[in-house]
Amino acid sequence: MSTVPGPQPSGRARSVSQPIRDGVSQDIIARATQSKPARLSVSRAQSSNSVLRTTKSIEAINTHGRARSSSLMTVTEVGGDEFENVVDRSGMGTNENAAWVNAPGAWIMHPILILLVKILVDALPSMTQDVSWTVVNLAYMALSFLMFHHVTGVPFESTMTTGGVYDEYTLWEQIDSGAHYTPAKKWLTSVPIGLFLISTHYTKYDPVLFTLNFAALVFVLFPKLPILHRLRFHFMPAVNATPGPSRPPSR
Amino acid sequence: MAAAAAPSSSGQDIPAPLVPILAILASAYRSFASALTRIPGSPIVIRYIESSYQNDPWRSILEVLLVAFAVRTLLKGRTRGDASSKNWVKLREEEIDELVDEWVPQPLVDEPSDVDKFTLASVPVINGPNGLRVKLASSGKMVTNLATVDWTGMIESDKMKQVAIDTLKLYGVGSCGPSGFYGTIDVHTKFEEEVSSFLGTESAIIYSQAYATISSAIPSFAKRGDIIVADKGVNFAIHKGLEISRSTIKWYAHNDMKDLERVLQNVEKEQKRKGGRLTRRFIISEGVFENDGMMVDLPKVMELKRKYKYRLILDESYSFGMIGAHGRGVTEYYSIPAAEVDILIGSMGNGLGAGGGFCAGSYHVCKHQKINSSASVFSAALPAMLATTASSALATIQTQPALFTSLQANILLFRQILSKIEPIPMSDTPATSATGLTASAATPLTGSSPSKTPNKDAIIHIPSHPSSALIHIFLLNAPGTMEEEERILQDVVDELLAKSDVIVTRARRLRGQEAFEPEPSLKVCLSGALSRKETEKAAKGLKEALIKVCGKKR
């Protein structure tokens, strides 16, 4: 807001009808919540000023993630602690999509399911102990990775409640509204470690099976680290997604 | 391993002072080992550790590290979640008491500021019902009211009043529930059918408040990550809807089709560059803009919307019941089928003299809102008498196109008189602002040739479309601050009421709440129910008041 003294130019163009300058990148103007002047501050508004100001603040948010362009890997942060996001997350109340992990049944389900799958795999003819434990371990790691660290959003969400605030969050990031070292998260971290120790023991420390099991464990443990919370890694990011000209198949 | 003490005790040459210490260590180890065997299940663990080692220290170290990591995780304290704020501080009991004692409640309502007092003092008080001709409480004089929206004289209509009374006797006052929860009655669905067949859309849904219609319809379709391209001059209700939707908003210069195309191209370029996922994309504009009476260039918007694959949300709250041969709005004015506008919002409060709003569109667009639009889900349904009076008004404007010809005649007369103090006197391309408004150029109103001579007596500028009954008058040579300008405009209003018995109003704004502050203006709402003489008198009075107040300022 600035007070501009002196007469307006004649043939008065309303300020909203002035095109936004090209230099102002992306012309994303923030939703009206950002840095509003105090109520009843009646002074002449130059809308272009507000355009510049709010655009800058949006850019600051977008570059918050430690983005490194033109490299093999980029890291970006999803979500954020802007006012709107915090309001939408707390406005939803209990996030039913993540609340079930705190139920007692959900804890005991992990060993039960692991044992059940173990029994089923053992029932296959000519199954050895080391292969069956490896299969169980890999299956558990794969499923928990898919469930907790790959799928994002809330499947049954209505736009009325959150406006898509959880769209980019994995289930792990939604559990206990993003708090770390909660009982559920401690349990969910311990179970794969325990399962790995048991399965390496019963695979008689075969180097190949050990490597397989350990790699699977690392895949599941890394996304659980608080330091990687809400960070996304893009390997070999597409620099230009525009498809090239299609060529007829050569023969 | 815990066995580290054992090999050192088997050494041969131990210095004398160390012997008792080693003896204590050895006995401690033995008692620890025997205690360990007494714990149930410990043989399994010991066997596990023994068989784990297998002469592979590196792997053992790895496993020990893993266990250590698990133990560390288990011992860590819980951190704060996202929902709670960053500046969370744990306070002691006495600190809490201290803060509670220190707390002084803020007043619920601030003392009115000078601007508030000035605004409150400038509201005229009338006796009796509102309408085109009202009785002033102060002097008891009958005056013409051009501050109330009444395009076709529905407020005065005796038929409407009778319909309202009959409905009141039959249905009572309220509907006592949201539309999805016992609130819907037959007259609601009847009006929905009528308005959709009137406009020629598949379906329609009604809301109980016009303001809530658009501000709730937008977030029901758009959410985070979706792209909305909106006109910078849209009204306050749309601003609120955009804010609630959390979408990415891209603004284009008010009614500037070139800028709209530029913004659409930018969005396309950006999406190609980033290769992001496909999102929902909307263009939002108004039919006749509430903030200045300009009209959207609908054919061009439709062309761009098809070219760049957007959906159009068109707010016709002001143009419905005002523009077009039968009051169907800008779609009828430009002869574009209303069904081609994806989401069309209208108001029963402005054009039909009743209350509430509606959204017309395809069957799916309307069905979706029934359970996804907060105003439709949570607010009580429209009172029955507003639905029946709206039906009655709709029937009236369908059968009496003369209402709109007399409205247009009044607008033309009014604008011709005021154009004497505009920069460019009335021509077939009026209201073309310096920044290149092309919308009105395509629609010549009269056959007179444009006069390009600048008007030396110009003191006002009217950007409103020549067919718009909503007329906003902006001052040329505005003073430095908005407050001064508001006071000048109020002087014009007071002068007009005192000399010519006509009420107009300053456009009232919530300063500090809008994304782009609209400039102060005078707002005039013309009506087809006014006689030619009354319109002429009002226009001449307004012209004289403007010359008197603003002329002396120069």
Contacts (Cβ under 8 Å, ≥6 apart) of B519: A12, A14, A15, B474, B478, B482, B485
CB B301 within 8 A of CB B315: no
Cross-chain CB nearest to B480 (options A6, A16, A50): A6
Average pLDDT (A225-244) is 72
CB A56 within 8 A of CB A87: no
Q: Specify the pLDDT at position B39.
A: 80
- In this predicted model, what pLDDT tens digit does every residue of B459-507 receive, in sequence order? 888 999 999 999 999 998 888 888 889 999 999 999 999 999 999 999 9
Average pLDDT (B73-92) is 71
C-alpha span between B128 and A244 (Å, rounded): 72
More confident residue, A16 or A26: A16
| Helix residue ranges per DSSP H, B76-182 | 93-102, 114-121, 158-171
Average pLDDT (B233-257) is 93
For residue A85, is pLDDT > 50? Answer: yes
Q: Specify the pLDDT at position A206.
A: 79
C-alpha span between A87 and A75 (Å, rounded): 26
- In this predicted model, what pLDDT tens digit does every residue of A29-50 receive, in sequence order? 433 334 333 333 333 333 333 3
Q: What's the mean pLDDT when you consider all of chain A?
A: 72
Chain B residues touching A179 at Cβ < 8 A: 78-82
Q: Specify the pLDDT at position B439.
A: 38
Q: What's the mean pLDDT when you consider all of chain B?
A: 86
Cross-chain CB nearest to A29 (options B249, B377, B513): B249
Q: Specify the pLDDT at position B208.
A: 94
Which of the four pLDDT bands, split at 50, 70 and 90, describes residue B15? Answer: confident
Which of the four pLDDT bands, split at 50, 70 and 90, describes residue B426? Answer: low
B262/A contact by beta carbon, under 8 A:
yes
Which of the four pLDDT bands, split at 50, 70 and 90, describes residue B444? Answer: very low
CB A47 within 8 A of CB A27: no
Return the minimum-mean-pLDDT range out of A188-192, B89-93, B206-210, B278-282. Answer: B89-93
Which of the four pLDDT bands, split at 50, 70 and 90, describes residue B194? Answer: very high
For residue B8, is pLDDT > 60? Answer: no
Average pLDDT (B268-290) is 87
Which of the four pLDDT bands, split at 50, 70 and 90, describes residue A7? Answer: very low
Sheet holding B133-136, edge to edge: B126-127, B133-136, B142-145, B502-503
The type of residue at A233 is F
Q: Do A240 and B239 touch (CB under 8 A)?
A: no
Cross-chain CB nearest to A177 (options B83, B224, B270): B83
For residue B22, is pLDDT > 90? Answer: no
More confident residue, B336 or B434: B336
Chain B residues touching A31 at Cβ < 8 A: 242-243, 246, 249, 515
Nearest residue to B277 via CA among B225, B221, B219, B220: B225
- In this predicted model, what pLDDT tens digit does every residue of A114-144 receive, in sequence order? 999 999 999 999 888 889 999 999 999 999 9
For residue B414, is pLDDT > 60? Answer: yes
C-alpha span between A142 and A200 (Å, rounded): 17
Q: Specify the pLDDT at position A18.
A: 56
A161/B contact by beta carbon, under 8 A:
no
Looking at CATH, the fold of the domain delimited by B116-145+402-426+459-553 is given as: Aspartate Aminotransferase, domain 1 (3.90.1150)
C-alpha span between B102 and B97 (Å, rounded): 9
Residue ranges per structural domain of chain B: 116-145+402-426+459-553, 158-399
Coil, helix or strand at residue B406 = helix
Which of the four pLDDT bands, split at 50, 70 and 90, describes residue A11? Answer: very low
Which of the four pLDDT bands, split at 50, 70 and 90, describes residue B136? Answer: very high
Share of chain A above pLDDT 90, in %: 28
Average pLDDT (B427-448) is 40
CB B317 within 8 A of CB B357: yes
C-alpha span between B231 and B291 (Å, rounded): 12
B277/A contact by beta carbon, under 8 A:
no
Residue B312 CA from chain centroid, whole number: 15
C-alpha span between B419 and B165 (Å, rounded): 43
pTM: predicted TM-score of the whole model, two decimal places: 0.77
- In this predicted model, what pLDDT tens digit does every residue of B505-544 receive, in sequence order? 999 888 888 888 888 999 999 999 999 999 999 999 999 9
Which of the four pLDDT bands, split at 50, 70 and 90, describes residue B378? Answer: very high
- In this predicted model, what pLDDT tens digit does every residue of B213-230 receive, in sequence order? 999 999 999 988 899 999
Q: Specify the pLDDT at position B61.
A: 87
- In this predicted model, what pLDDT tens digit does every residue of B282-315 receive, in sequence order? 999 999 999 999 999 999 999 999 999 999 999 9
Q: Which residue of A has its CA nearest to B423?
A: A11
For residue A62, is pLDDT > 50? Answer: no
CB within 8 Å of chain A, chain B residues 235-254? 239-240, 242-246, 248-254
Q: Specify the pLDDT at position A143.
A: 95
Q: Specify the pLDDT at position A236.
A: 72
Average pLDDT (A200-204) is 82
Return the minimum-mean-pLDDT range out of B88-92, B224-228, B316-320. Answer: B88-92
Residue ranges per structural domain of chain A: 79-235
* Number of C-beta neighbours around residue B390 at 10 A: 31
Q: Specify the pLDDT at position B3.
A: 43
Return the minimum-mean-pLDDT range out of A204-208, B45-49, B323-327. Answer: B45-49
Q: Specify the pLDDT at position B553.
A: 53
Q: Specify the pLDDT at position B516.
A: 86
Average pLDDT (B383-397) is 95
For residue A2, is pLDDT > 80? Answer: no
A142/B contact by beta carbon, under 8 A:
no
Mutate to test the interface with B, among A15, A16, A187, A199 (most CBs of B within 10 A): A16
Q: Specify the pLDDT at position B449.
A: 42
Which of the four pLDDT bands, split at 50, 70 and 90, describes residue B7? Answer: very low
For residue B552, is pLDDT > 80? Answer: no
Mutate to test the interface with B, among A159, A205, A218, A234 (most CBs of B within 10 A): A159
Cross-chain CB nearest to A81 (options B86, B514, B517): B86
Tally of residues, chain B: 554
Q: For B158-399, CATH number?
A: 3.40.640.10
A-B Cβ pairs (cutoff 8 Å, strict): 233
For residue B54, is pLDDT > 50? Answer: yes
More confident residue, A239 or B527: B527
Q: Specify the pLDDT at position B88.
A: 56
For residue B123, is pLDDT > 70? Answer: yes
